[in-house]
Chains A and B, each alone.
Chain A
Amino acid sequence: MEQTSQELDRLVRKYVYDTAMYRGYPPFLAETSTALSIPLPDVQAAFQRLADGHILVLQPENGEILMANPFSAVPTPFLVELEAFTCYGNCIWDALGIPALLAQDARIKTACGDCGTALGLSVVNGQVHGDSGVIHFALPARRWWEDIVFN
């Protein structure tokens, strides 16, 4: 029986997060197509639908995943070190979101957004510790998705 778009999207979303949670960054179009035995155009369409639903953010040039929140597909100033792998969050919230999602301890290495001074945080047994500082949300919550890359 043919899969509905909704079923396909669920399958693709599960694979994207299975992969990101296993290795720290989301899968590419081609490997998703191969792993799920789904034609590439169908995977492209599923990625796009998930992006339209604000579940993924795609790279505009090639349709590959840029963000499967909280994971980033590309290096960012928010390095997250876990026992099994090191990866990148999209922002400080997402950097904290990775150990929250995985329920694991982590070390987060970032820098002051203003002066660039190195700042380190750690999550141990469900508690966060580290350098003092504040988190700044630049855009009001209702506008986050207007420019999610800036945000």
Chain B
Amino acid sequence: MLFFRSEEHVDRWCRQWNLPKGALLSLDQGWRLAQAWYGTDRREPDWRRKNVEEAEALFSELGLTSPFWDLRANPVG
């Protein structure tokens, strides 16, 4: 995940590397995602990775509801 000056720079980067455009997040969305994802202490014995349901619920809370964030869909292409 990279940071770009603007969406125009994302488009140029995708063209240059011949890659499909992915998903864009605002800085505030990225910060809230980072806080939610990394806010738990990974040193705790009971810590575990989020399961699919928990991750999807988190994405949904942040307004990330497009198929890009669907962890269960069959890969396309």
* Chain B residues with CB below 8 A from A60, complex form: none
**Chain B positions 1-52 with a Cβ under 8 Å from a chain A Cβ:** 1-7, 9-10, 12-13, 16, 19, 21-31, 33-35, 37-39, 41-43, 45, 47, 49
**Is B68 a contact partner of A113 (Cβ separation < 8 A)?**
no
**Is B68 a contact partner of A134 (Cβ separation < 8 A)?**
no
Q: Out of A70, A115, A141, which one reaches B5, CB within 8 Å?
A: A115
| A/B pair count, beta carbons within 8 Å | 155
**Chain A positions 104-151 with a Cβ under 8 Å from a chain B Cβ:** 110-115, 117, 119, 121, 123, 126, 128, 130-143, 151
**Is B38 a contact partner of A112 (Cβ separation < 8 A)?**
no
Complexed CA–CA distance, A142 and B35 (Å) = 20
Q: Out of B6, B31, B45, B75, which one reaches A143, CB within 8 Å?
A: B75
| Closest CB in chain B relative to A75 CB, distance in Å | 16
- How many B residues touch the partner, as a band? 35 or more
**Known A92-B30, A142-B73, A143-B75: A134·B4 in contact at CB below 8 Å:** yes
Interface size on A, residues (CB 8 A): 47
**Is B9 a contact partner of A112 (Cβ separation < 8 A)?**
yes
Give me 15 other A-B pairs in contact (C-beta within 8 A), A13-B42, A141-B68 excluded: A93-B1, A97-B34, A100-B39, A101-B39, A113-B3, A114-B12, A123-B31, A132-B27, A133-B3, A133-B5, A134-B25, A135-B27, A136-B3, A138-B22, A141-B59
Residues of A within 8 A of B (CB): 10, 13-14, 17-18, 21, 53-55, 69-70, 91-94, 96-98, 100-101, 110-115, 117, 119, 121, 123, 126, 128, 130-143, 151
* 7 cross-chain CB contacts under 8 A: A13-B42, A17-B42, A101-B42, A113-B3, A113-B4, A115-B5, A134-B10
Residues of B within 8 A of A (CB): 1-7, 9-10, 12-13, 16, 19, 21-31, 33-35, 37-39, 41-43, 45, 47, 49, 55, 59, 67-73, 75
